Chain A
Amino acid sequence: MIANYLQRVGLRTFNVLATMGHAVLIYLKVVFGFSRLSIFIPLLVRQMYVVGVQSLLIILVSGLFIGMVIALQGYQVLVSYGAEGSLGPMVALSLLRELGPVVTALLFAGRAGSALTAEIGLMKATEQIASLEMMAIDPLRRVIAPRFWAGLICMPMLATVFTLVAIYGGKFVGVDWLGLDKGTYWSLMQASVEWQQDIGSMLIKSVVFANVVTWVAVFRGYHCQPTSAGISKATTDTVVQASLIVLGLDFVLTALMFG
């Protein structure tokens, strides 16, 4: 009974390790496995359109609203200490250091990550992946690599756009609505935001998160059971796992950079 249980645990552990090893191997192959550039670049552009441009709307809208909400809530707290002048720094720092990269990554996992998983899973279920292999074309290079690189490039760009829009959303509420001085908002923000520390951390975090989310998405798709149940499970797994890893890693990165 106990031996049985232990055996199951052992097998489980072994399976998890094997999957992780496989994931790392494929990762290296995808990152360094360019096919001919004349073929790769058009594919990359197409995927950047799917992954990046088509995620832009949700990023812009949620950025605007998140910025507005932070400003509104922050104002209520700060005003009771007579420190409403610090609204600018508060909005900018919370967005640059945490919310920009994290919320972008979560939205990206839900919007683009799940779509990537479903698309690749469907290609597998309809034998398109196997068919590529039989045509002597490596699906990792032809299908996975352009999608992965597109995600890697687009997510930091989306995070930047998101953060900027949110800061303007905060300005809209703080300055145009609640009547804070425009000069105070911008100048105090500028005095407390430092390029390397704050914008740098946004970029570093979003590059790390881009790796995680895109990687989870393509790996889940590439390894799903090629059935409709398998694809829907893989899609859910992508969103759940990518989000959890992003939140966990965010804590680790914050501890490393600001701790």
Chain B
Amino acid sequence: MDRKKQLQQRRIEIAVGLFVVLAVASLAILSIKVATWGMTGGQDTYTVYARFDNIGGLKERAPIKIGGVVIGRVTGITLESEYYTPVVELRINSRYSELAETSSASILTSGLLGEQYVGITPGFVIDDIAMLTDGDYITDTKPALVLEDMIGQFLYSQSDD
């Protein structure tokens, strides 16, 4: 092959190489700057359950937070067959495995109109209290605050006076 063809071939190879580098770099930036590595797979998790009287507008994949830090996701919402109480399946990152059984779960809203999430308040750890493990139920729960109910109650108590 003569020189001209070789040079042209080289130019093409370099251009394609740069293109590949550009694409890989883009993916890296997307991964680091734009996304978080989610909780739904890849990392070790454990699952606990919580019964709520009312879950309000909680959806699957809603975050679970302690003090605003995301520690897991809601992975399932079902109704218990006997009393028709909603049961929420919570998948929590194994990094946060030291949650006492006395911890409480409540359904909160971020901002006035924001999405709903599960907030967990860690319980005190005393000698004979075990940690939450896979399949346990969180017994201390607070239901979602439903705005319409609150307004209804407020109006009712007003008219009472």
Any A–B CB pair closer than 8 Å: yes
Chain-A contact segment, one of B33-41, B48-56, B89-97:
B33-41
- Report whether B19 and A197 are in contact in the complex, using a CB–CB cutoff of 8 Å: no
The verdict on A111 contacting chain B, using a C-beta distance below 8 Å, is: no
Q: Which of B12, B27, B30 has the most CB of A within 10 A?
A: B30
- Report whether B16 and A49 are in contact in the complex, using a CB–CB cutoff of 8 Å: yes
Task: Return A154 CB to nearest CB of chain B, in Å.
Answer: 8
- Report whether A190 and B34 are in contact in the complex, using a CB–CB cutoff of 8 Å: yes
Interface string of A191-223 (1 = CB under 8 A from B): 101111111000000000000000000000000
> Taking A56-B19, A161-B22 as contacts, is the C-beta distance between A199 and B12 under 8 angstroms?
no
Report how far A190 CA is from B30 CA in the complex, Å.
10
The verdict on A48 contacting chain B, using a C-beta distance below 8 Å, is: yes
- Report whether A191 and B30 are in contact in the complex, using a CB–CB cutoff of 8 Å: no
Among the listed B15, B30, B41, B42, which residue makes an inter-chain contact with A199, where contact means beta carbons less than 8 Å apart?
B30
- Report whether A191 and B19 are in contact in the complex, using a CB–CB cutoff of 8 Å: no
Q: Which residues on B sit within 8 Å (CB–CB) of A191?
A: 36, 70
- Report whether B34 and A81 are in contact in the complex, using a CB–CB cutoff of 8 Å: no
Report how far A248 CA is from B129 CA in the complex, Å.
55
- Report whether A81 and B113 are in contact in the complex, using a CB–CB cutoff of 8 Å: yes
The verdict on A106 contacting chain B, using a C-beta distance below 8 Å, is: no
Among the listed A45, A154, A164, A194, which residue makes an inter-chain contact with B26, where contact means beta carbons less than 8 Å apart?
A164
The verdict on A125 contacting chain B, using a C-beta distance below 8 Å, is: no
Task: Return A91 CB to nearest CB of chain B, in Å.
Answer: 10
Report how far A56 CA is from B18 CA in the complex, Å.
11
Task: Return B40 CB to nearest CB of chain A, in Å.
Answer: 6
The verdict on B130 contacting chain A, using a C-beta distance below 8 Å, is: no
Please provide the chain A residues from 21 to 50 with a CB less than 8 Å away from any CB of chain B in the complex: 42, 45-46, 48-49
Q: Which residues on B sit within 8 Å (CB–CB) of A158?
A: 23
Interface of B, secondary structure class, is helix
The verdict on B139 contacting chain A, using a C-beta distance below 8 Å, is: no
> Which B-chain residue is minimally distant from A154 (CB atoms)?
B19
The verdict on A53 contacting chain B, using a C-beta distance below 8 Å, is: yes
The verdict on A105 contacting chain B, using a C-beta distance below 8 Å, is: no
- Report whether A196 and B113 are in contact in the complex, using a CB–CB cutoff of 8 Å: no
- Report whether B36 and A194 are in contact in the complex, using a CB–CB cutoff of 8 Å: yes
Q: Which of B29, B37, B38, B113 has the most CB of A within 10 A?
A: B38
- Report whether A195 and B36 are in contact in the complex, using a CB–CB cutoff of 8 Å: yes
Report how far A189 CA is from B13 CA in the complex, Å.
36
Task: Return B13 CB to nearest CB of chain A, in Å.
Answer: 6
- Report whether B38 and A49 are in contact in the complex, using a CB–CB cutoff of 8 Å: no
The verdict on B153 contacting chain A, using a C-beta distance below 8 Å, is: no
> Taking A186-B33, A189-B34, A190-B33 as contacts, is the C-beta distance between A45 and B16 under 8 angstroms?
yes
> Which A-chain residue is minimally distant from B115 (CB atoms)?
A192
Q: Which residues on A sit within 8 Å (CB–CB) of B70?
A: 191
Q: Which residues on B sit within 8 Å (CB–CB) of A62?
A: none
Report how far A27 CA is from B36 CA in the complex, Å.
37
> Which B-chain residue is minimally distant from A190 (CB atoms)?
B36
Task: Return B44 CB to nearest CB of chain A, in Å.
Answer: 15
Report how far A164 CA is from B31 CA in the complex, Å.
10
Q: Which residues on A sit within 8 Å (CB–CB) of B34?
A: 92, 96, 167, 186, 189-190, 193, 199
Report how far A189 CA is from B27 CA in the complex, Å.
16
Q: Which residues on A sit within 8 Å (CB–CB) of B13?
A: 45
Q: Which residues of A does B touch, CB under 8 Å?
A: 42, 45-46, 48-49, 52-53, 56, 81, 83, 92, 96, 154, 156-158, 160-161, 163-164, 167, 186, 189-191, 193-199
Q: Which residues of B does A touch, CB under 8 Å?
A: 9, 12-13, 15-16, 19-20, 22-23, 26-27, 29-31, 33-38, 40-42, 70, 113
Given A48-B16, A164-B29, A195-B35, 9 additional A-B pairs, CB 8 A: A42-B9, A48-B19, A53-B15, A156-B23, A157-B19, A163-B30, A164-B30, A190-B35, A191-B36
